Amino acid sequence: MRRKNIRLARESYEISSQIFSVTICTWDRRSLFRNETWANLVLTTLETGPFGKQTELYAFCLMPDHVHIQLSPMEANLVDLVSRWKSFTANLLRRDGLIGPCWQRGFYDHALRKEEDIRTSAEYIVNNPVRACLVENWVDYPFAWHRWI
């Protein structure tokens, strides 16, 4: 049986002004990021790894078993960037003791439309720990950020 293609046309992922909301889940939804060291390691890569110089970062929220990132690619294709980032972070985590796979195959993306407000979308992302009852206010969650704080 052939997998359904859920991606936009390849060119859509190369528009530097296009803002995306991306969700990447851990393998089998394992709660890898309850480990604070691993959580901080992964968050650091948003600024230093493959995303570092090739994306504009607007918001992120690292949950125990997935990450939400709002960004726009500056020069590279988003699909390729995500693939490189997943490989980069998995290798870092393995060096730090992770056993087994890190990330699920693929990821979910949503291209923000003109009528969608980027800040509202970012606030939705950072409020994930509140909806998951991890904190009462997202600012108390150490693994969430958006640029309009």
Q: Which domain holds residue 135?
A: 14-146
Q: Determine, yes or no, domain membership for 122.
A: yes
In what side-by-side order are the strands of the sheet with 20-25?
Answer: 108-111, 20-25, 66-73, 55-63, 144-146
pLDDT (tens digit, 9 = 90+) per residue, 86-128?
Answer: 999 999 999 999 999 999 999 999 999 887 899 999 999 999 9
For the chain, the domain total comes to: 1
pLDDT of res. 149: 78
Tell if the pTM clears 0.95, that is, is over it: no
Q: Determine, yes or no, domain membership for 1.
A: no
- pLDDT of residue 1 exceeding 70, the answer is no
pLDDT (tens digit, 9 = 90+) per residue, 43-93?
Answer: 999 988 888 888 999 999 999 999 999 999 987 889 999 999 999 999 999
- pLDDT of residue 3 exceeding 90, the answer is no
- pLDDT of residue 5 exceeding 70, the answer is no
Measured CA to CA, the distance from residue 89 to residue 102 in angstroms comes to 8
Q: Determine, yes or no, domain membership for 6.
A: no
CATH number at residue 32: 3.30.70.1290
